[in-house]
């Protein structure tokens, strides 16, 4: 089978190679991967600034395809079932266990999905509902689940509230869509007026260009009558945390998600802020949470926002496209 390997510390270290097709062991299924999506984490893993396990590594955590073979002891899945794999192979449900989860992070601690065939533990594989294509499904395991946990499970966003979604990448566009479905108002930030217009078309009530308005926190407070936003999905990290706290109302909810500015936001700083924010650190989620999101997508027909689909021979250009920040929503790779 064809697969990409990363053996070095740059995007240019990605190599398309031939590997044997793996065979499923007990409780595993062999999946013919049809689509994969990229996350900011994949850039960090490629440039060596994020922990990773085996070398060479098959990168990328998020993929969807159909089952072609099942191992001994499988009970729920059969050949031709359309599935996606959870971000963490061993976090099925319950509280986050750092050691167990991190040791099974797909595309980092273990091989990922940028290959024509991939093994999933049956317990960490989620069936696709009718009507959900492979490309759309491939956007859910990391960005979709992160937004779901931030907005729905922990945030409990409801009608009449306001959520600020930072930027227009995968997590933020999912957060926008989920918050609007809950009846909330959404403020989107971006450095691009064109992206803000696209966010408005997706349902955003307000847009703030943070290059034109460096004090975007003050602008967000003004849009809420000086009160501040009820919820904020913080994807920027340490470099944006102070403004995020200023944008938040007293007692509001802050979901610490990303590190686009270079480092994760320090949770202690957020907790110590005098506004008394309710602070959650969100590190994707479990297979159960992926299943819950997938069921929601099936019921509501929510359409994940896909910026562009690259071919399997265009993986390096896909990484470069994500690196430039030119995308709106998710970057997807058609594997086969």
CATH of the domain at 268: 3.40.50.720
Question: Both 205 and 249 in a single domain?
Answer: yes
Question: Both 181 and 212 in a single domain?
Answer: yes
Domain final position from 264, 281, 298: 281
State which residues form the domain around 13.
Answer: 2-140+286-334
What pLDDT was estimated at residue 65? 98
Question: Both 263 and 328 in a single domain?
Answer: no
Q: For the segment 184-233, what is each residue's pLDDT rounded down to a tens digit?
A: 999 999 999 999 999 999 999 999 999 999 999 999 999 999 999 999 99
User: Is 146 a member of any domain?
Assistant: no
What pLDDT was estimated at residue 262? 52
Give pLDDT < 50 ranges for the chain: none
Q: For the segment 234-280, what is each residue's pLDDT rounded down to a tens digit?
A: 998 888 999 999 999 999 999 999 765 556 777 888 788 888 899 99
What pLDDT was estimated at residue 18? 98
Question: Both 29 and 78 in a single domain?
Answer: yes
- Map the chain to HEC letters: CEEEEECCCCHHHEEEEECCCCCCCCCEEEEEEEEEEECHHHHHHHCCCCCCCCCCECCCCEEEEEEEEECCCCCCCCCCCEEEECCECCCCCCCCCHHHHHCCEECCCECCCCECEEEEEHHHEEECCCCCCHHHHCCHHHHHHHHHHHHHHCCCCCCCCEEEEECCEHHHHHHHHHHHHCCCEEEEEECCHHHHHHHHHHCCCEEEECCCCCCHHHHHHHHCCCCCEEEEEECCCCCCHHHHHHHEEEEEEEEECCCCCCCCCCHHHHHHCCCCCEEEECCCCCHHHHHHHHHHHHHHCCCCCEEEEEEHHHHHHHHHHHHCCCCCEEEEEECC
Of the chain, the percentage scoring pLDDT greater than 90 comes to 87
Domain final position from 241, 258, 281: 281
Question: Both 238 and 205 in a single domain?
Answer: yes
Q: How many domains does the chain contain in total?
A: 2
Question: Both 68 and 191 in a single domain?
Answer: no
User: Is 23 a member of any domain?
Assistant: yes
Q: How far is residue 64's CA from residue 37's CA, in Å, rounded to a whole number?
A: 9
User: Is 192 a member of any domain?
Assistant: yes
Question: Both 269 and 297 in a single domain?
Answer: no
User: Is 149 a member of any domain?
Assistant: no
82 contacts 127 by C-beta, under 8 angstroms: yes
What pLDDT was estimated at residue 239? 85
Question: Both 120 and 62 in a single domain?
Answer: yes
What pLDDT was estimated at residue 50? 85
What pLDDT was estimated at residue 236? 87
Q: How far is residue 172's CA from residue 169's CA, in Å, rounded to a whole number?
A: 5
Question: Both 274 and 328 in a single domain?
Answer: no
User: Is 304 a member of any domain?
Assistant: yes
Domain final position from 281, 307, 325: 281
Question: Both 262 and 188 in a single domain?
Answer: yes
Question: Both 15 and 124 in a single domain?
Answer: yes
Question: Both 174 and 61 in a single domain?
Answer: no
User: Is 147 a member of any domain?
Assistant: no
Q: Say which CATH number the domain at 313 has.
A: 3.90.180.10
What pLDDT was estimated at residue 260? 57
User: Is 188 a member of any domain?
Assistant: yes
What pLDDT was estimated at residue 187? 98
User: Is 148 a member of any domain?
Assistant: no
């Amino acid at each position: 089978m064809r697969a990409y390997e990363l053996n070095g510390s740059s995007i240019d270290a990605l190599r398309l190679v031939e590997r044997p097709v793996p065979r499923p062991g007990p409780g595993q299924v062999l999946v013919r991967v049809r689509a994969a999506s990229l996350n900011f984490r994949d850039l960090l893993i490629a440039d060596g600034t994020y922990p990773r396990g085996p070398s060479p590594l098959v990168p990328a955590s998020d993929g969807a395809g159909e089952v072609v073979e099942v191992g001994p002891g499988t009970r729920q899945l059969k050949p031709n079932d359309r599935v996606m794999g959870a971000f963490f192979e061993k976090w099925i449900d319950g509280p986050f266990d750092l050691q167990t989860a991190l040791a099974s992070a797909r595309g980092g601690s273990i091989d990922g999905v940028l290959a024509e065939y991939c093994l999933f533990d049956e317990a960490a594989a989620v069936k696709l509902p009718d009507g959900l294509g492979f490309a759309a499904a491939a956007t859910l395991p990391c960005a979709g689940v992160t937004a779901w946990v931030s907005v729905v499970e922990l945030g409990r966003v409801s009608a009449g509230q306001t959520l600020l979604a930072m930027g227009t990448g995968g997590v933020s566009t999912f957060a926008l869509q989920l918050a609007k479905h809950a009846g909330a108002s959404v403020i989107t930030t971006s450095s691009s007026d064109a992206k803000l217009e696209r966010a408005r078309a997706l349902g955003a009530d307000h847009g703030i260009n943070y290059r034109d308005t460096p004090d975007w926190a003050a602008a967000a407070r003004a849009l809420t009558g000086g009160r501040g936003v009820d919820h904020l999905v913080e994807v920027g990290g340490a470099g944006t945390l102070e403004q995020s706290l200023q944008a938040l109302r007293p007692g509001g909810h802050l979901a610490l998600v990303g590190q686009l500015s270079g480092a994760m936001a320090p949770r202690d700083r957020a907790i110590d802020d005098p506004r008394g924010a309710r602070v959650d650190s969100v590190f994707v989620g479990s297979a159960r949470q992926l299943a819950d999101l997938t069921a929601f997508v099936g019921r509501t027909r929510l359409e994940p926002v896909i910026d562009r689909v690259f071919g399997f021979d265009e993986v390096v250009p896909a990484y470069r496209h994500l690196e430039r920040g030119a995308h709106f929503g998710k970057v997807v790779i058609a594997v086969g």
